Structure formats: C-alpha cells, structure tokens
Amino acid sequence: MEVGAYFKLSNFSLLAPRFLPSPNNQFSTNLFQSPRISLCKATVKQSLTNMEQTMKITNHEDNLDIELSSLISLCPLDGRYWNKAKELYPFMSEYGLIRFRVLVEVKWLLKLSKIPEITEVPQFSVEARSFLQGLIDGFSINDAEEVKKIERVTNHDVKAVEYFLKQRCQSHPEISKVLEFFHFACTSEDINNLAHALMLKGAMDTVVLPIMDKLITALCDLATENASVAMLSRTHGQTASPTTLGKEMAIFAYRLSRERHDISNIQLLGKFAGAVGNYNAHMVAYPNIDWPQIAEEFVTSLGIHFNPYVTQIESHDYMAKLFRSIIQFNNILIDFDRDVWGYISLNYFKQITKAGEIGSSTMPHKVNPIDFENSEGNLRVANGGLNQLSDSLTISRWQRDLTDSTVLRNMGVELGHSIVAYKSALQGIAKLQVNEACITTDLDKSWEVLAEPIQTVMRRYGVPEPYEKLKELTRGRAVTEASIKEFIGGLEIPEEAKTTLMNLSPRTYVGAAVELANDIKAAINLVVASSG
C-alpha cells in the first residue's frame, strides 16, 4: 500500500509521509510521493498591527490518521507535543517566516511611494494600497506553497518572495508599472532580519509572555492561598527554621516576574542598510535622499527598534540577550520544578488524579510527579538550544557569512520546548493539593528548630556561650517540647523574654513569612511599575 501525505497544520506544511503497512506487512518504501490526503487544514487570519490570530482547524479524516502522522514526526513539537506548541506555528514556522518576508517587501514598496524624490513610484491610490495590504492580510498557506514552488527554481528563498509578489501584482494597472521597486536597493538580509524580528515579536507578545504571566499568577495564587501554612525549611536537605509554604512559592513568583519583565523590555532591533550597511546602492540611485533617516523611519514603523551600525546583517546582539534572559527564566522554573518534586516526595503535596490515569505500570499506589519532570526536561532541552543560539548568532565573519541563517531556523524549536515546559508546570500546579496533616506532623516532631531563637535571645541578655549550650541540648539527642521548655525555664533572662520563648512552637516560629507571602502581588506590581 503506497501512502504519502502532507501533514498540514496551523499555517505550515510539514512533510509527513505515513508509515502504513503494505499488504505483505512490509512498510512502504515509497515514502515521498505526491500528497494524496490532507489530514488537517488550518487557516490563520492575522491582524499584522496587533498580532492577534484566530485559528480554524478542520479535520478531514479521523483522529487515528492524525495520530499515525504524529508518530513519524522527527521533532516531538510536531508530534507528541503538538497540542502544547501549536500556538507558535503562525509565527515561528517556515510559513511564518515567508509571511513576514512578504510583509516587509510590501511595506517597503509602500514606503518608497511616499518619498517625494522617488518620482518613479508615485503615491498609490486608495485601491492600490488596499490591494497591497490585502497581500499581507490575506496571505495563506497556499500562498506560502506557491513561494516554495518558485524557490525550487530560483534556489533562493527571498528572491522567491520577490517573484511571487511581482506575479501577484503584474495585472494591477498601477502596481505593475513599478514592479522593479519590489526589493529596491535591498539585500536579502534587509528583508530577513526584519522578518525574524517580527517573528520573535509576534511569538513573544502573543504566546510566550502571556504563558509566563499565567505561571507567575498561578504561583502568586499558590502563595497567598497558603500564606499561613507553616512548614519546615530544609537547608542542606536537613531540618531548619520553619517557613510557610506560601512564602516559598512567593519567592519563585517574584523571581520569575523580574525575569519576565526584563525579557519584555529587551529591544528588538532591525536594519535596512543594504549589502554592507552603508546604503551604497541607495545613494548611487538617489543621492539626495537621507537614506539612514528613511531606513530608521521604515524599521520603526514595523514596531522594531533601529540599529544604525551594521554590516550586511543586524548583529543579533539583542537576540543573544533575549535568549539568555529566557534561559534565566527557565532556570528559575527548573529550580521550582525540583523543589515541588521534593515536596511531593515528602508528601507535603498530594496530586489530584483523574479516573483511569496510571501512575506506574507496575506499582498501582504511585502517582508520579510527571508534569514537573516533563517541565524540567523540556526546559533543559530549550536551554541547550538557546545557549547555542546565543553563542553563535553574535559571530559573523567580516561583513557576512551564512552561519546564522541555518541557526536562526531553530528559534521556534527552543521557544517551543519552553512553551511545552511552561504548560506542563501549569498542569502540575493545577493538580497540587496541600497535605497540611503531613506538614504539621513534621513540624510537631521538630522542636529542635527552636534552638535558633532561644540562643539568639540568650545572646541579647548576655548569657555566656548560648550557642554551645543549645548545641549540647540538641545535637544527637531527641528534642521534645518538654525538654525545650525545661531548658527555657532554667534561663536567667527577663520573665517577659522567657514568656515569649515559652509561647513559641515550630508552628508559630515563622517570622514574617505570612506577611511576605500575602504581599507578593503588591511586590510584583512594583516590579512591573519599575520596569516601565
């Protein structure tokens, strides 16, 4: 049985021939035939001013077909994790790259028509401008496939976009007269660097930052809801001064919020200065135009900050900064994942289960913390790739080499694994159920933690060798409420201080933890305000 299919999903085509058995139970070796079945078709209508999207997916065959296709995907983001990563595809896929290239080329032609000195491109009529805008707003998967067909002839992806636009506009009475001003004075990287910046802008604003915000909100809620739930700390893995569960969650909410707002304030940069960054061709063709000013106006009109000093490429320093900041956000989340994993192992958290779910294939009693493990694993994969991007993108031989071109195609992979991780962590948080009984039992068995406040009060009132006396009382011995209170009773300190110590218990010795947890949302609001 000879089967080949395109797996069409969310505005981008992934060649995914299905491995189905032939009549003699041998897998088909004729894997890359022309498509016969369109499994899933999606259209994305994109407002390019606010990056909003609506996705409409229509299944043409049953779920089994989709499952079979995902089984042979080389990348788990296109297979197992498709449902978690699919929001990125309108931006970070090959389709997204082509669509933004079209946007830049069309906007540049419109910009040229507004420069009085370029008399060869007069102001377009309202109808012509609407026609050009329609090429952007209506850009479809079929359009992207047409560009790819042209590329198979040109063997140049950006030139294919230029030819596509000329073909679309050749019958228009106004635009057909200025077709050669598509890509005027541009090098491919003028188009590409802005397309990449717009891809990142769309992905960050529409997908990544909103999910980061959901994580921070979930942790804030976990913090305030459990602000008063006292629990043992564990420094070096051993019993330590009590805290509250809420305050420990607040720490992660605050750390993540700081990174999130640092990320949102990173300026995405763009260039439009020609083959080596000097506007050489521009100035020969139109020497009386202030081309650096025109370039700045054009780049900033797209919502991108302007980089005036470049070679053929924009130097990608902002990308390195962005990716390293995402790495830091991810590292903080790994720290959270591991801490919660540990609290689950201590039985401080139970996990809400669903009927029919299996925790372990052999041990029926187990409910594994798989969401936090999945989150950690995907974060580590993402960070490895983001680190490679950060290290390699800022290096380019002389005025240009193509190393960055292939590397940049992996941006979506690393963001995709980050998104999978964020959603897994959110899924895990939603399953958490605080086991206060277990937490309290541990506290009630740990009266030795009061050695810290007792010896500190002894220091205040001049009792000699307070640390050593508490060390003798607590280290290597069973410490109980009775033994602690007997020790306090024998201290030569003011009665008021003695009463304060007598009233302490592991449950109440939490310092300002409750207030810190309850104040977390206000603290994060200050971070937001200070970041502008």
For residues 36 and 17, give the distance between their C-alpha atoms in angstroms, rounded to a whole number: 10
Kindly tell me the burial class for residue 303, based on how many C-beta atoms sit within 10 Å of its own C-beta (0-12, 13-18, 19 or more): middle
Residues 6 or more apart in contact with residue 478 via CB below 8 angstroms: none
Q: How far is CA 484 from CA 241, 499, 504, in A?
A: 15, 13, 10
Residue with tokens 């910046």: 197
Out of 171, 236, 361, 530, the active site residue is 236
Collapsing DSSP states into helix, strand and coil, what is residue 27?
strand
Kindly tell me the burial class for residue 30, based on how many C-beta atoms sit within 10 Å of its own C-beta (0-12, 13-18, 19 or more): exposed
Number of H helices, E strands in the chain: 23, 10
Give me the residues paired with residue 52 across strands: 47
Rounded to the nearest 5°, which phi and psi values hold at 329? Answer: -55, -45
Length of the chain: 532
Kindly tell me the burial class for residue 369, based on how many C-beta atoms sit within 10 Å of its own C-beta (0-12, 13-18, 19 or more): buried
Letter for the amino acid at 472?
E
Out of 22, 301, 360, 531, the active site residue is 360
Tokens representing residue 163 in the block: 């030819």
Tokens representing residue 149 in the block: 């067909």
**Contact indicator for 4, 33 with CB cutoff of 8 Å:** yes
Helix extents (H) in 269-308:
280-285, 291-301
For residues 229 and 449, give the distance between their C-alpha atoms in angstroms, rounded to a whole number: 17
Kindly tell me the burial class for residue 469, based on how many C-beta atoms sit within 10 Å of its own C-beta (0-12, 13-18, 19 or more): middle
The closest of 183, 412, 197 to 310, measured between CA atoms, is 197
What is the phi-psi region of residue 133: left when phi exceeds 0, alpha when psi lies from -120 to 50, beta otherwise? alpha
For residues 36 and 269, give the distance between their C-alpha atoms in angstroms, rounded to a whole number: 43
236 catalytic? Reply is yes
Collapsing DSSP states into helix, strand and coil, what is residue 241?
strand
The closest of 171, 180, 52, 213 to 105, measured between CA atoms, is 180
Q: Which residues are catalytic?
A: 236, 360
